Amino acid sequence: MKITFIGLGRMGWHMAGHLARQKHTLTVLDSNLTAVSTWLAAHQGQSAPSTQDAVRDAELVITSLPADAALQLVWNEAADSLALGCIWIDHSTTSAEIARQLATTASTRGNFFIDAPVSGGTIGAEKGTLAIMAGADETAWKKVESVLQAYAQQISRIGPPGAGQLTKMSNQICVAGIGQALAEGLAFAEKNGLDLEKVLAVMLKGSSTSWMMENRSIPMIKGEFDFGFSTTLMRKDLALVMDEARRSDVSLPVTGLVTQLLSDVAAMGHAQSDWCSLIQRQRRLTASRKP
């Protein structure tokens, strides 16, 4: 299949790599030209001088971009050059509103836009074990679903356009609370002088186990945060959640709190760190208190 992949960041780099290994004809693009040249040095594929050139012959366009603004920008650059019938899959986490708008605009032009945000982190992207939740026209979805098996182990069309992003928001609501709970649990064990490795080994087999615990406890304990899903992107996701919650009149007290806590974490210098740096805020508070 002729595929154009736009956005070779922490996630897109690996996803595009899996597609290249599946022998698709791949064109890649990123506003960061170093990302493009290093990706091309490691994989089979080509780039293009402009967004228009990159998408012109594509049967499938895939994007993995930071947020609504970048997606809208790339769409505006590409839309007039899309071939009739071209399907666009967006793996970025965005508002449900932009997903619905682009799906409507695409359908008036003889194209399809699918919102297909992902979960599973950079490790899931690297190992090809992501979970994909999609909002899509059913016919278009059937044509491209199998392509996504290159980097996902769970792929579900949840409903019409926008449903993928709403599902991702549900995921982020759950993970926000779990992240702060993990920070509190580890900081509590640390302050009480427990052997954190032993604590972790037992908790991973107990009722508090989670993806966050499996994949983030060690960096949290070691204080190593230069990887993964940035605090900035998590704050973006939670802002989308809180907007949608206001619209649908849903009370999300814990998510609201974690949204606030992450603004402290960014101000502490962790805006580009993985958002599990949330524990540093907890540590700072805990360290300053004497029992």
Q: Cα 229 from chain centroid?
A: 8
Give the residue, chosen from 3, 5, 12, 273, that forms a contact with ligand NAD under the rule CB under 6 A.
12
Length of the chain: 291
Q: How far is the CB of 201 from ligand NAD (least distance, A)?
A: 25
DSSP E strands, the chain: 2-6, 25-29, 60-63, 87-90, 112-115, 118-119, 130-135, 152-159
- Comparison of 51 and 282: residue with beta carbon closer to ligand NAD: 51
Q: Are 230 and 273 in contact (CB under 8 A)?
A: yes
Binding mask 224-253 for ligand NAD (x = CB under 6 A): ----xx---x---x----------------
Residues 280, 176: Cα–Cα separation, whole Å: 16
Residue 64 touching ligand NAD (CB under 6 A): yes
Return the residues of window 103-122 that contact ligand NAD according to CB under 6 A: 118-119, 121-122
Q: Confirm whether 222 is a catalytic residue.
A: no
- Comparison of 40 and 196: residue with beta carbon closer to ligand NAD: 40
Q: How far is the CB of 252 from ligand NAD (least distance, A)?
A: 18
Backbone angles phi, psi at 87, to 5 degrees: -105, 135
**Structure-block tokens of residue 167:** 């599902």
Give the residue, chosen from 66, 159, 160, 256, that forms a contact with ligand NAD under the rule CB under 6 A.
66
Query: Which one of 2, 168, 191, 198 is the catalytic residue?
Result: 168
Return the residues of window 121-160 that contact ligand NAD according to CB under 6 A: 121-122
- Comparison of 134 and 199: residue with beta carbon closer to ligand NAD: 134
Q: How far is the CB of 117 from ligand NAD (least distance, A)?
A: 6
- Comparison of 65 and 96: residue with beta carbon closer to ligand NAD: 65
- Comparison of 64 and 180: residue with beta carbon closer to ligand NAD: 64
Q: Are 234 and 194 in contact (CB under 8 A)?
A: no
Residue 35 touching ligand NAD (CB under 6 A): yes
Residue by residue, DSSP assigns 126-157 as HHT-EEEEEE--HHHHHHHGGGGGGTEEEEEE
Residue by residue, DSSP assigns 236-290 as HHHHHHHHHHHHHT---HHHHHHHHHHHHHIIIIISSSBGGGHHHHHHHHHHT--
- Comparison of 3 and 65: residue with beta carbon closer to ligand NAD: 65
**Structure-block tokens of residue 259:** 């949204």
Residue 8 touching ligand NAD (CB under 6 A): yes
Active site amino acids: 168
Interface residues with ligand NAD (CB under 6 A) are: 6-12, 29-32, 35, 64-67, 70, 73-74, 92-93, 118-119, 121-122, 228-229, 233, 237
